[in-house]
Structure 1
């Protein structure tokens, strides 16, 4: 005989189970609408895969799992999806949530199923995935996704599988009716789960001894199998997960742990049948057996009802008398909750709809002060201290609540049932649990924010330390250089001026690198020969081009080679010119200085002409590069095109400026050599002009400044519009960017004009 252990505490409330067992299992008609919440299980809600107006069939997937800890959702009848919106949920909060609403067509046309009669030929991992996609979740408790329990971790070897047929809550007989009418399916479900868990040593179905018909049917169906049916004395709440494990195995699940941590998996008998039908017949979970009971009903019985059926429709099919009912309860009188409306639907965890009369379940009396009788502690099946938890819950002392293991409370209601002061203890515990969970979430968010802030502060401090270290290194190096310079100046070894020293060093390197005129001519002749050879080779390739695309590419290359050849000839001619040895050709620094001085001595119109010629030369080279890029389909085509556009704009601006100058006199002006007082450095001249302009603006009134801004913006806008017009004419890809720039300038001009008018 199997050994039975006892649990602490517990109570014996009136069972009231006979009312719903008089009539056999029945069915009711489909409602006008099926409302299917996306979250009928613990974990993440499912994600819709259908849209409004779509036609669906019975058993069709309408929402896929929203993550690993989730379950799928299927259409419980064929019809049309008429809405995906928030509807009232079967939850103690009475809040609304996202639901898929289906209008049945009355045909109940099934989708094609994927049965697997011989599941032992399949991999257990594939079968667990099939159960997950069939939307199977716990049908006797909080709706834990079944696939998660059937796939324990590698470090959790399972030696015992328990099916829970206890159903200790008063009034509820859904599992009793299932075990009476379909015992073979319950046994097959147990064998399937044992196969998925690697054939644990013990497979047992626990049933309270107040269900003799169900026990006899199960034992007859289990004959010849390794499934053990165990009956034990009736006590509430022996159907709790941890309590049933203790009764059947003598083991206790540690606080904060799960049964898999001690090698046990526990499933409801209804869940086992649903999993077996999902694997063997390919049927997803679209219906369940629910007890409809209470003296406010004309008919009390168990029905197999489609998920999504509104509770109001179920009550109407059983002759509900609203005037006689004290309330509507979803679940049993101990652990159930009152419904605010009958519009909530039947879901995967709905095992009972209770409509009691005023005499059957009167309203609870007002709560009195606690008299410290200790009856709640004697009744607690989890060996907790309900009285202390009550005081700490009222004081919102979360640390004490966790120290007294609040989360080990299964919310069975035994403490509130025996309380002579009628204190709703479970309601305090539920509220405290919710507050603690929210506080944990807030703490996690705050910790993450604190970590981010600390990391940022550390990063800023590290950057500042690095900057300070570099600054100190530079200061140290500068001090060392200064000391070295002072020592050198005192000893007279090297020049004290670092600029003069650098110039002297560059001159020395330049002198050492100078070549004789004969060597220079030989080098230029080699460059000329190389350019001629490259040009000939490129022309030969052009002649042998196999396609127009290659020909275009080689034409661009020929142009580039011709320019190189022309440049080499010019250098050689310059070398052969009289006096080339004394014109600074060997000294590039002196030559650059001479060119700069000559440019500064030029008249304004001559400067503009020289600038225009230089820009045209650069434009030719830029257009050649653009042609080569087009031929090679280079990624730099856009940038090169932008450079060409800018050069063209500069040429137009220079030509316009040249046209505004007065005609040059017939006699060529003498070259002007800048005096010692005039700055030779162009950068210094620009700085002086900027300073003068800033000084002039400082003396201007606000209206004059605005007028100057308006004039400047008008000129810039005219140039921008000209660029835009040229780009549109040439079909440039930069039209959009130029248009945006012109619009911004126009907006800025309008704002400035408005400011001027107001001033």
Structure 2
């Protein structure tokens, strides 16, 4: 019984240009003289480097540890010498650099000690950690850490596991050739994913322009005795989008702000399933991938390429033509222009599309939008691209978000059908980057405000603690003064006022201590005084006691060296 299929909104049918690169089998690319392995090759945190310059590594050895749960490890693609751990040009149109491990292969290609797991007897959490440490990410282009998608969710099971073999973009055939040649490994990897997700059914979606891949997968499913359904779906770009493929196979329309897992559906790429099989069954971490080389070359083909291999070395195997102007990573619809020819192959590199002005002529000049609505009819995400264009151009990012800007999958269908040749996707990418930048600035501002408010709170708390300590000390002083007799009349009055004011109590205590110290102090240099000097000192002390420490107003005593003022003319 044939499965009922559904349609997704929009889509286009560009020329596929796939036949040339599928005429020959996959071949392993030779070792390059230098490997540049970026540490950040997935969505999430950048792995921490575990090696240093001058260190020797083995094939499959861990060189970058995952940074938290939303990250994925990185391994040495071959054995050799680490010549540097430094920033290097990354495979991104920005031309920015990324911290990378640079390895000089020794030619021996010696493996490190490998670990294998029996997935049926291993706890699920341990399996997910193993997949994370094997560096496996989504090989369909999103490079999302695979272990995060291997969780069945709150219900403990998944209704439908979808395996994506659609590969809808023109020129790219790496998944097609992988299914033709390694279908058994894909099916075994899918069985592992099914075990972890506790999926009720498995649907393998492949576009109907790949009959050899469909036949190979059906044969492998029967040979492995698995209850999986291989479904040939209509060829229409972008049927390989996760939401679009789920719609075609199950009829489920994943709405804005929701995920497919909310409806019991999870989706993986066929290359990801094969990488899971390689990791758990053979112990091989993700150190290579199948890459299509197509476009302006003499011999388009698929190669198994080590991660970190310069793209120019791979393209040279297919015979790059002299009029080549640039490389695209990916296809002509969603591919990104590379900032150089020697940028490294990374886990996201499914295709190196070699471009020339003859093969891909410069686009015609952009003209004014005529509001024809063709972009809206072609949009597979059911958005209003022309509205997003106007808001993006006016930098009205709030309105762009209201029109669900972030639901745009940047497939390029709108720009493909636009009669005004407007590079619509470029506008959407600009808006997204600006919104992300403002969110980062807002987050930084919020953190600064929180630090300022906490500083004020800390200062107020310290003031309160200091006041409490002073009050406690004042209470202690009052209690002490209440039990001690007053030293003299001068001290008695402040002691009485201490009950009303803590500061007065402290002052009274200080005066009492000073008077006690003065009373106890012994005069210095008073030995061997004459009787006359001793009498003079006694007179001074008697006068001080009677006048309250006021200076004497009468004539100075005889013998003190002072004299009365001369009143005579």
The alignment's TM-score, normalised by the length of structure 1, stands at: 0.63
Q: SS of the residue aligned with 1:98?
A: strand
Deviation at 1:318, TM superposition (A): 2.0
By relative contact order (CA 8 Å, sep 6+), the higher-ranking structure is 2
Q: Report the equivalent of 1:95.
A: 96
Change (3 A) 1:369 1:467: same
Distance 1:209 1:317 in 2: 30
**2:211 pairs with 1:218:** no
Distance 1:455 1:598 in 2: 51
Deviations 1:279-334 (A, max 9, x none): 1111101100000111x21221000000000001112222212x322432111000
Deviation at 1:258, TM superposition (A): 2.1
Q: Report the equivalent of 1:732.
A: none
Structure 2 counterparts to residues 46-445 of structure 1, below 5 A: 46-116=47-117, 118-154=118-154, 157-197=157-197, 199-223=198-222, 224-294=225-295, 296-321=296-321, 323-445=322-444
Change (3 A) 1:500 1:41: closer
Residue of 475, 492, 499 corresponding to 1:499: 492
Structure 2 counterparts to residues 594-613 of structure 1, below 5 A: 599-600=521-522, 602-604=523-525
Q: SS of the residue aligned with 2:130?
A: helix
Does the 8 Å contact 2:162/2:204 carry over to 1? yes
Stretches of structure 2 that go unaligned for 5 or more consecutive residues are: 471-488, 497-513, 552-569
Change (3 A) 1:300 1:452: same
Does the 8 Å contact 1:124/1:195 carry over to 2? no
The alignment's TM-score, normalised by the length of structure 2, stands at: 0.83
Q: SS of the residue aligned with 1:35?
A: strand
**2:546 pairs with 1:675:** no
Deviation at 1:340, TM superposition (A): 2.2
Does the 8 Å contact 2:243/2:254 carry over to 1? yes
Deviation at 1:256, TM superposition (A): 2.0
Change (3 A) 1:676 1:288: same
Q: SS of the residue aligned with 2:355?
A: coil
Structure 2 counterparts to residues 530-541 of structure 1, below 5 A: none
Distance 1:405 1:684 in 2: 89
Stretches of structure 1 that go unaligned for 5 or more consecutive residues are: 472-495, 504-591, 607-663, 686-759
Structure 2 counterparts to residues 666-745 of structure 1, below 5 A: 670=534, 672-673=537-538, 674-678=540-544
Q: SS of the residue aligned with 1:280?
A: helix
Deviation at 1:455, TM superposition (A): 5.9
Q: SS of the residue aligned with 1:267?
A: strand
Change (3 A) 1:352 1:597: closer
Does the 8 Å contact 1:156/1:260 carry over to 2? no
Deviation at 1:415, TM superposition (A): 0.3
Deviation at 1:22, TM superposition (A): 1.0
Distance 2:131 2:547 in 1: 85
Which is helix-richer, 1 or 2? 1
Deviations 1:437-457 (A, max 9, x none): 111122223234344555666
Q: Report the equivalent of 1:34.
A: 35
Distance 1:194 1:684 in 2: 102
Does the 8 Å contact 2:141/2:349 carry over to 1? no
Distance 2:300 2:494 in 1: 110
Distance 1:318 1:412 in 2: 27
Change (3 A) 1:421 1:500: closer
Distance 1:357 1:501 in 2: 98
Change (3 A) 1:665 1:459: closer
Deviations 1:83-137 (A, max 9, x none): 1111110112121111100000000010011123x42122122111111100000
Q: SS of the residue aligned with 1:449?
A: helix
Q: SS of the residue aligned with 1:356?
A: strand
Change (3 A) 1:385 1:596: closer
Q: CA RMSD in A?
A: 3.2
Deviation at 1:24, TM superposition (A): 1.1
Q: SS of the residue aligned with 1:85?
A: strand
Change (3 A) 1:681 1:288: farther
Deviations 1:521-578 (A, max 9, x none): xxxxxxxxxxxxxxxxxxxxxxxxxxxxxxxxxxxxxxxxxxxxxxxxxxxxxxxxxx
Distance 1:272 1:144 in 2: 13
Q: Report the equivalent of 1:552.
A: none
Distance 2:172 2:547 in 1: 101
Change (3 A) 1:666 1:173: same
Which is strand-richer, 1 or 2? 2
Does the 8 Å contact 1:37/1:99 carry over to 2? yes
Distance 1:349 1:325 in 2: 22
Deviation at 1:28, TM superposition (A): 2.0
